[in-house]
């Protein structure tokens, strides 16, 4: 079972991961975006970690909603609204719950990803974070159907997200800032998809 403390540990890990990868993500974004993705993600999750430390959540839904509100307020560009929506939709499904089993983890990610798709209007092949999220969710659901543990679900999700991230390199962007570049967006890895892999890897390491 995944507990409130593990959700908080996930956010703590994300703060460390995005601070450590700030320059790398910003370098990726400098090629096809506004050169601020890493800075924004590090700032957002540093703020989210502090918010949870200052206001310990009573349940998982409250923790995720707090993260959502903080990201929307502190992260610039498209990342704040999109990742904020992920945590907001996940929070609604985990409202009042102190523990989540594998069913709950699948629902959390499924609802969060659906929220991102509804808000961003992107599909697989558009060279966005959806290229990592969509295969990750498919792999997670497949392993869940097979009766796998939470750690196995998330391990499968990470592997699928990595392949999705890599698939963005040859694509021409059809959504977001990168789409303005047309053919020049080819041969560059999408920073949002890269952030998804980092997020899922941190979940694998803390939520199981």
DSSP letters along 89-143, please?
Answer: HHHHHTTT-SEE-HHHHHHHHHHHHHHHHHHH---TTSSSTHHHHHHHHHHHHHH
Give the structural domain span for 54. 2-206
Tally of structural domains, the chain: 1
Place of tokens 């090629």: 31
The confidence score (pLDDT) of residue 198 equals 98
Cβ atoms 202, 17 nearer than 8 A = yes
**Residue 102's domain is classified under what CATH number?**
1.25.40.340
Q: What is the pLDDT along the chain (208 residues), one digit of tens a residue?
A: 999 999 999 999 999 999 999 999 999 999 999 899 999 999 999 999 999 999 999 999 999 999 999 999 998 778 899 999 999 999 999 999 999 999 999 999 999 999 999 999 999 999 999 999 999 999 999 999 999 999 999 999 999 999 999 999 999 999 887 887 889 899 999 999 999 999 999 999 999 8
Sign of torsion over alpha carbons 206, 51, 40, 22: negative
Place of tokens 């499904």: 93
Place of tokens 């502190």: 74
Cβ atoms 92, 61 nearer than 8 A = yes
**Angle at Cα 39 formed by Cα 178 and Cα 60, nearest 5°?**
100
The 10s digit of each residue's pLDDT in 139-154 is 999 999 999 999 999 9
Average model confidence (pLDDT) for the chain?
A: 96
Give the SS3 label for residue 188.
coil
Residue 99 tokens read as 């523990």
| pTM assigned to the model | 0.96
């Amino acid at each position: 079972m995944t507990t409130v403390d593990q959700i908080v540990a996930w956010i703590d890990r994300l703060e460390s991961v995005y601070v450590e990868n700030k320059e790398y993500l910003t370098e990726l974004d400098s090629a096809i975006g506004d050169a601020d993705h890493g800075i924004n993600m590090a700032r957002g999750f540093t703020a989210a970690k502090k918010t949870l430390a200052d206001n310990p959540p009573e349940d998982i839904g409250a923790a995720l909603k707090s993260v959502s509100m903080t990201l929307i307020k502190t992260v610039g560009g498209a990342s704040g609204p999109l990742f904020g929506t992920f945590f907001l939709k996940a929070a609604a499904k985990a409202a009042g719950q102190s523990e989540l089993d594998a069913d709950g983890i699948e629902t959390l990610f499924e609802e969060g990803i659906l929220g991102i798709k509804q808000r961003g209007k992107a599909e697989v092949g558009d060279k966005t974070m959806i290229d990592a999220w969509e295969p990750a969710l498919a792999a997670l659901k497949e392993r869940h159907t097979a009766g796998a543990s939470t750690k196995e679900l998330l391990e499968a999700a990470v592997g699928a997200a990595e392949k999705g991230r890599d698939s963005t390199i040859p694509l021409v962007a059809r959504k977001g800032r990168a789409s303005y570049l047309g053919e020049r967006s080819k041969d560059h890895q999408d920073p949002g998809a890269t952030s998804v892999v980092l997020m899922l890897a941190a979940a694998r390491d803390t939520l199981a």
